[in-house]
Structure 1
Amino acid sequence: MEITALGYVGIKSSQSEQWSRMATDLLGMQRVDGAAKVQAYRMDDRKQRLIVDGSDDSGLAVMGWEVADAAALDRLAGRLEDHGVKVTRGARALAEQRHVTELISVQDPANNTIEVFWGAARASDPFRPGRPISGFRTGPLGMGHVVLNVEEVEPLLQFYRDLLGFKVSDYGLTPYKLYFFHVNGRHHSFAMVGSGRRALHHFMVELGSLDDVGQGYDLAQLENGRVAYTLGRHTNDHMTSFYVNTPSGFFIEYGWGGRVIDPKTWQPHETFDGPSLWGHERLYMPEEQRKRLRDMRLSAAARGIRVPDPSVPPLNCPWLDTVIAQE
């Protein structure tokens, strides 16, 4: 498997100032200068992780996936071309805008744009969060994860699993098809929901401390309509999180304590207990749909379903390491 991590996410939204306030004041990202009409945000020692292009309101613009080196990029490009996928070599100007050495661009079967790159640039100055947080869990696990609403799962399953080499972590088949994929030790870096729609559902960022999440939850509740899912814990990746509504109509999951797996020994399996052990009340849903998901959580509780408490590895954040060294 050439792809090693989710490197960055790009979106298109004309609501640039609303994005800036949310990304910095609530999420704790650091805004950095971008090109004209483009805002970029740091989460760690990378020059950017989130890109907000103000040219239109089309939502998800790009998912940037990382490979180790030029040879890995060439292998993946060759395999895609051998299977009839059009591969475009990124221009030097685009690579410089993305702060990478080299990249290619392809479209998945649902016309989502994917960039695969190597050689991400490191910032020369330390990460300065937009609000006091311990930092984001990135490093070898990547930026976080992305979840897509899709019209049909099967064509995308063949593309992401068989061509890109993503590995299935687990899946559900009812009431709709739902697949989770890993590319490293993070339980999933990508997932797709066969909802019949084509749109970004959410992306997730993981914090270094449960208190970061709890304090973010307090801040989010100060804004009318900001919280989309209440605080809760997922069954499959064990993440404790809440979700916020973004200015672009999709969600961001803000979490801690995500499961780290061993990709060499992990076995994909079907899940049956619903998405959450507790919490994650979907405030945006009609009551009938909320009740169905609530009943699934109550069933899990009645059966005593539990998952292990997280064994959280060191944050692996150069910014935090610098602060600790100075202290």
Structure 2
Amino acid sequence: MAICALGYLGVRSDRLDDWADFAGKLLGMQKIDRGSKALAFRMDDQMQRLLVSDEDGDTLAFMGWEVERQDDLQRYAARLDKAGVPVHLGTKELCDRRFVESLVWFEDPMGNRVELFHKPMIASDPFVPGRPIDGFMTGPLGMGHAVLHVKNIEIMMPFYRDLLDFRVSDYGLKPYGLYFFHVNDRHHSFAMVGSGQAGFHHFMVEFQNLDDVGQGYDLAQQEDGRVAYTLGRHTNDYMTSYYANSPSAFFVENGWGGRIIDPPSWEPHETHDGPSFWGHERLYLSEEGGRKRLRDMRLEAAANGRRAPPVAECPWLYNQLAKQGK
């Protein structure tokens, strides 16, 4: 029994035109019209990875997590039901809208809708990106990762770790609680920010080519206020990325070169160097609101010689060595 990938995300927003430009022209996804009230986007051969519905809220509507086998849905449903979590069977209409064979859905302790599904539908026509890119790192790694704001990590942790089998990759306690979880070889497919807030912090898409990130960064800088974090590199998953302000009240991380791990041998651990080796200046924050504190952590990490292992400079080679256990 296993949840194996982040399969899709849903967003509520009444700014469909803005999302069409953002997800298509900046992120490079393929736009698929779903009538006047919704837009869908492809990232690969799957029929749908992102769905934006014309609804009030401007935030996360649902997360779709793929399971390995059909009977995993019943097993998770039984486990959640035993823990007192109401579980709902997805109707045929809902499965058709999600382009999956079957699903169940429920809410986490903070009211975020979670859908577990089996067997996504594969498109018959090839993926056509919204701008010239080499493509996204998806396949067995899933669509990317999703990160939630949480008011109380002590309540959310056992839900995702113990009931849903998300495995801790690492965690940091300064400048605030950050917990990262893996469900496949991607360093993390899910994370929680202990900000004391509720809602969606960001989702990440990983490009196959660093130049696709850089060219997107150039495009984002042509729009006032589009860049939320400058180009930088994370300390735990070695991702080189920038963050864009989406048309809704959350960010989208545009990354390349993410760390591949070996889940059976991986040991969760605490990190102490802050979120980034360099860059990722939080343009949306004031100096007093945390921007200086995070910058000082990066400067301290640099002064202490912290950096990613040299082999991570070549993600392909890093992935090959990781598979061989080297």
**TM-score w.r.t. structure 2 length?**
0.94
Q: How does 1:137-148 map to 2 (within 5 A)?
A: 137-148=137-148
Q: Which residue of 2 aligns with 1:273?
A: 273
User: Per-residue deviation at 1:35?
Assistant: 4.5
Q: How does 1:135-174 map to 2 (within 5 A)?
A: 135-174=135-174
For 1:302, the aligned partner's letter is A
The offset of 1:233, in angstroms, is: 0.1
Name the CA distance, whole Å, in 1 between partners of 2:270 and 2:315. Answer: 25
Q: What is the match of residue 31 of structure 2?
A: 31
- Identify if the C-alpha distance between structure 1 residues 35 and 107 changes in structure 2 by more than 3 Å, giving closer, same or farther: farther
Structure 1 residues not aligned, in runs of 5+: 315-327
Partners in 2 of 1:215 and 1:75 — Cα distance? 44
Offset at 1:58? 4.1
Q: CA RMSD in A?
A: 1.1
Alignment of 1:174-253 (within 5 A): 174-253=174-253
In the other structure, the counterpart of 2:63 is 63
Counterpart for residue 21 of structure 1: 21
In the TM superposition, what is the alpha-carbon distance from 1:91 to its structure 2 partner? 0.6
Q: CA deviation at 1:36?
A: 4.4
- CA shift digits 1:108-157 (9 cap, x unpaired): 00000000000100000000000000000000000000011111101110
> Are 1:88 and 2:88 matched, yes or no?
yes
Residue by residue over 1:165-194, the C-alpha shift from the partner in whole angstroms, topping out at 9 and shown as x without a partner, is: 000000112332210000000000000011
Counterpart of 2:59, as a letter, is G
The question of whether the paired residues in 2 share the 8 Å contact of 1:64 and 1:117 is answered with yes
The whole-number CA distance in structure 1 between the counterparts of 2:152 and 2:253 is 24
Deviations 1:82-126 (A, max 9, x none): 111111000100000000000000100000000000010000000
Distance 2:269 2:84 in 1: 30
Q: Which moved more, 1:197-206 or 1:285-294?
A: 285-294
Q: C-alpha separation between the residues in 2 aligned to 1:292 and 1:23?
A: 31
Paired residue total: 314
Greater mean deviation of Cα atoms: 223-232 or 54-63:
54-63
Structure 1 runs, 4 residues or longer, greater than 6 Å off: none
Aligned match of 2:47: 47
Q: Show the counterpart of 1:319.
A: none
**Contact 2:14-2:58 within 8 A present in 1 as well:** no
**2:157 partner amino acid:** L
Q: Which runs of 5+ in 2 are unaligned?
A: 318-326
C-alpha distance in structure 2 between counterparts of 1:99 and 1:36, whole Å: 19
Distance 1:78 1:36, change over 3 A: farther
Partner of 1:324: none
Q: Tell me the secondary structure at the aligned position of residue 102 of structure 1.
A: strand
- Give 2:291's aligned residue: 290
Report SS of the residue matched to 1:255.
Answer: strand
* Matched AA of 2:8: Y
Q: Deviations over 1:204-263 (max 9, x none)?
A: 000000000000000000011100000000000000000000111210000000000000
What is the TM-score normalised by the length of structure 1?
0.94
Q: Secondary structure at the match of 1:101?
A: strand
* Partner Cα separation in structure 1 for residue 29 and residue 174 of structure 2: 36
52-61 vs 119-128, which deviates more?
Answer: 52-61
Q: How much has 1:310 moved relative to structure 2?
A: 3.8
The CA deviation at 1:312 is 2.5
Name whichever of 267-276 and 286-295 sits farther off: 286-295
Q: Distance in 1 between matches of 2:31 and 2:132?
A: 14
Is residue 87–residue 106 contact of structure 1 (8 Å, CA) maintained in 2?
A: yes
Q: For the Cα contact (< 8 Å) 1:108–1:159, is it kept in 2?
A: yes
Pair 313,35 (structure 1): closer, same or farther in 2 beyond 3 Å: farther
Query: What is the SS of the residue equivalent to 1:161?
Result: helix
Percent identity of paired positions between Structure 1 and Structure 2: 61
8 Å Cα contact 2:227/2:283 also seen in 1: yes
Counterpart among 296, 315, 323 of residue 312 in structure 1:
315
What is the CA–CA distance in structure 2 between the aligned matches of 1:36 and 1:86, rounded to whole Å? 32
